[in-house]
Each structure stands twice: as structure tokens, then as C-alpha cells.
Structure 1
Amino acid sequence: MDLYIWRHPKPEQVEGLCFGQSEVSVDRRKLKRLAHQIQRFVRVNQLPKQIWVSPLQRSKQVGEYLVAQGFECYVDEQLLETHFGVWEGNPWSEISKEEIDSWCDNFADFAPTGGESLRHLFQRVAAWIEQQKQREAQATLNTGNKLEEKRKAYDNPKTVLLVGHAGWINTAKLIHQGQSVPIKAIHWPRPVRHGQLTHLKF
């Protein structure tokens, strides 16, 4: 399976904020620009016009623009970014040093109150990838002139396209490399750039 992941466009006014599953705004021009980039990539490489997105608007809205260009768009909660619990939406500077130290020292299993640990993120990313690899052929689309074409796009697990989030993408890359959940924060890779394409072959 070829997995092509674009990181969502850069949000506005989030400098210094901790946010994972919080909704943040993105300039609509950036959303359209990434949608056009994906559309060109699909056309040039003759790939199925199918895109997976998370429910968060910075990912989902790219999919909505692509739907207007004839794509099928599938929304899946397993594609969400890490949930930072009570840290969500707060400036990093207002989160206590003790909590940050606990997180860095126990990077795999620490979770802010109400949030999720990195180990949990690994589990749901791995589960989604496995589902895509094992997905059986099925027709779930309504009848229409392009039913057969759309069915083939949905049923073909060899190529999967998605608009993802930095933590999710890093996790997928580590799983692809056969690495276990990082125990220390220093072992966590730097995030990919906004709008950057990551290609993983499973």
C-alpha cells in the first residue's frame, strides 16, 4: 500500500499555543492551494480521486474543496491529532514546568488530564493503517453514471491519500520504520512542514 499524506495548511494566530484536537482557523486561500496541489498530484500520477481527512476543519476543509472537483472524501476520527486534554488551547508558557518535565521523562505513557498518551496515538494510527491494508472490496456508494469508477477508487487499497496532522504523520513514519513508541521526548522527530507530502510504502 502506498500512503500519501499531506500535512494540513498552517493555522492562523496559534503561535505559542498548545493545540491538538482544538479547532483553529486557516486562511481559505491556503486550504484551496493545498487542494489544488493534491488535485494536480492525483492527475499527474493517475491516482484514484479519493481523500481521507480528520474531522478537524484544517484537514476536513481541504477535502471539501476536493469534493467540488469530483473527489470522494472520507472523514475518520482515527486521523485526529493527539488530544492534549486540559492543555488544549493554552499557551505552552502557562503549563507548569512539573507537568512538562513529567511528559518529557515519560514521553510514551504520560497524558495530560483528559488527553491521550503517545502510546495511545500509536495504537490508533497503527489500527487505521492495518484497516487500510486489509480493507476488502465493497461498494458503498450510491448509483450513478460513474458508479463503477467510484467503486474502484474506494475498493483499491493500494493507494491511499490523506490530509493529516503533524503528530499523526510522525507516528506513521515511525511505524513505517519499525520503531517502537519513543520513551524520551528527544527521540521524537521534528514535524514535517505544513503542506508537505510524505510518502510511505507499507
Structure 2
Amino acid sequence: MFTIWRHPRPRGAEGRCIGGRTDLPVDPRKAKRLAHRIRAHARRHALPREVVTSPLARAADVGRWLKRWGFAWRVDPALAEMDFGRWDGQPWSAIPVHEFDRWMADFCGFDFDGGESLTALLARAAAWQPPCALAVGHGGWITARHWRGGAAPTASSWPPPPGYGRPTASAPSAA
């Protein structure tokens, strides 16, 4: 088992499509607060002082705090958020309706014109092998990792991501 925590709420994300190409900062106090919670979790469960994070600042800043407190910290690009291609970083209101229609017509296969399809994200998340018991990542990646729908997801069956700063326990995938 490992526990992956969603990063703290990033600054500047409101109303924007934020994925793996848009590296937003987090409030340093929120990163430190989440690092404290992860450190307490590790103590409570007698876990090794090791953590792996996405390379994006909103996750990596938590890893930096843990490293200051003696944790071994690794960065793994496989934990990055889904790449929304041309949409990444754009205001949702600036994305034309016909583009959303294209996505809904091919919910799993649409690659956002040069980004990553949901099918690719599901495969990347399922194939990831945790190097330790603690990780910090992103809502879309975590949701993909925990997808257990059997059939391919649809827009209506895709669950919401976990809350910012929330932990999710998971068994290692048998990729």
C-alpha cells in the first residue's frame, strides 16, 4: 500500500484548464502544512522517511519541505498531471464549444491537439510502480490511478478528483 496526497491548491488556477504544462506555485504555508501532515502520517504508520512527487511546483514544493526535515525525496515525471495540450493554461471560457464537443465525442481518445489522451493517462497511472509509501501528485492522475470502472470512462462516469491536500490510499498496480 502507498498513500498519495493531492498537492495544495495552486495560485492562479481559478477558471483555467490546468494540466501538466502549466506549472503554478502554491502558497508556501500550504505546502509546509501538507508536508507536516505527511510527516505525521509517516510517524503514525511507522513508514520510512521517503517521498516521491511530481516535478510540478505544486507537488514538488511539498517534497522540498520534507527533504528539509530529513526525508529522502525523489521526483518522478510519471506523476505529472495530464497534459491538456493547447488547452493547458487557457481560461475555460476561451475554449470554444465545438472543442468541448470534440472532447465529449471521444472522451478517452481526445488528445487536446498535442497533449495526452485520457487513455494514455490511465495507462501511465496504472503502470506506475511506487518506489516508496508516500507520494504527492495531482487530481487527474490520482483519479486515473484509482479508476476501477471496468469499462472505458465516459464524461458522466469520471469521478471528481480528491480535494486539495487530501490523501488517498492505494495498492500498487499490477501493470
- Alignment deviations for residues 42-87 of structure 1 (CA, whole Å, 9 cap, x no partner): 0111101110101100111100100011101111111000001111
8 A Cα contact 1:85 1:113, kept in partner: yes
Identity of aligned residues (%): 44
Please tell me the residue identity of whatever aligns with 1:8.
H
8 A Cα contact 2:47 2:133, kept in partner: no
CA distance in 1 between partners of 2:149 and 2:110 (Å): 22
Aligned residues: 171
Higher helix share: 1
CA distance in 1 between partners of 2:113 and 2:26 (Å): 27
Q: Show structure 2 runs of 5+ residues with no match.
A: none
Runs of 4+ in 1 over 4 A off after TM superposition: none
Please tell me the residue identity of whatever aligns with 1:168.
W
Task: Name the SS of the counterpart of 1:198 in structure 2.
Answer: strand
- Alignment deviations for residues 17-59 of structure 1 (CA, whole Å, 9 cap, x no partner): 0110111121000000000000011011110111010110011
Please tell me the residue identity of whatever aligns with 2:68.
A
Q: Show structure 1 runs of 5+ residues with no match.
A: 133-156
The root-mean-square deviation of aligned C-alpha atoms, in Å, is 1.3
Structure 1 residues 1-202: aligned runs within 5 Å: 2-21=1-20, 22-129=22-129, 132=130, 160-174=133-147, 177=148, 179-182=150-153, 184-202=154-172
- Alignment deviations for residues 126-174 of structure 1 (CA, whole Å, 9 cap, x no partner): 1213xx4xxxxxxxxxxxxxxxxxxxxxxxx6x5210010000001111
CA distance in 1 between partners of 2:105 and 2:6 (Å): 28
Offset, 1:89: 1.1
